[in-house]
Every structure is written in C-alpha cells, then in structure tokens.
C-alpha cells in the first residue's frame, strides 16, 4: 500500500489523515457526541486536490462509524458534497 493511500486514524486528535509528502497532510476532523459522528472539517493541500484523496479518507470515516455503531452528520461542505455524490453511504447518515 503506498503512503498516499494509507489512511491513519488518530482518535485522540479526532482526525483521519493521509501523509502526502514531508509536512503535507490531507485530513478529516470529526467530533463524537451521543452516538453521532459530526464531520467538522476536511482539508487537502491545493496541489493534491482532485485526486480523490479526501474521498478515500471519508470512506475510512464511514467504516469507522459503522464499526462503532455511530451515525454520521456532515457539517463541513466537503462532507455534505461527498454524501450527495455517494448515495450508497446514506445508510450511515443520522
């Protein structure tokens, strides 16, 4: 698995991320409250956008929510867009 596809989960920071190169990361931040996972922020450095990196991270967030029995509430604009584009994941939405 290449570094660019390896999604790391940092639960203490409420963050999923991919290390793109030295000092550059794409990430999704979240908060969990009462069995709800709020996707609060998604970021990919500009030069890495358009490669599906944030979508890859969101897929891991969804897998995590499913394993933990959490429902997802997209707060940030990317998360909202992701769920509009991928109706196959609507079952995890609150």
Residues 6+ apart with CB under 8 A from 61: 16, 28, 30, 37, 39, 72
Closest by CA to 45, choosing from 28, 21, 26, is 26
**Statement: residue 5 has pLDDT above 70:** no
pTM: predicted TM-score of the whole model, two decimal places? 0.92
Residue pair 70/34 in contact (Cβ under 8 Å)? The answer is no
Residue 62: its H or E element: helix 53-68
Per CATH, the architecture of 3-92 is what? 3-Layer(aba) Sandwich (3.40)
Residue ranges covered by each domain of the chain: 3-92
Question: What pLDDT digit, counting tens, does each position of 69-94 carry?
Answer: 999 999 999 999 999 999 999 999 99
């Amino acid at each position: 698995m290449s570094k660019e596809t390896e999604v790391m989960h940092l639960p203490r920071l409420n963050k999923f991320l991919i290390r793109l190169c030295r000092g550059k990361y794409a990430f999704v931040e979240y908060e969990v409250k009462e069995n709800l996972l709020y996707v609060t922020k998604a970021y990919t450095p500009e030069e890495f956008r358009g490669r599906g990196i944030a979508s890859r991270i969101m897929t891991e967030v969804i897998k995590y929510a499913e394993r933990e029995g959490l429902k997802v509430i997209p707060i940030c604009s990317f998360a909202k867009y992701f769920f509009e584009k991928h109706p196959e994941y609507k079952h995890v939405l609150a």
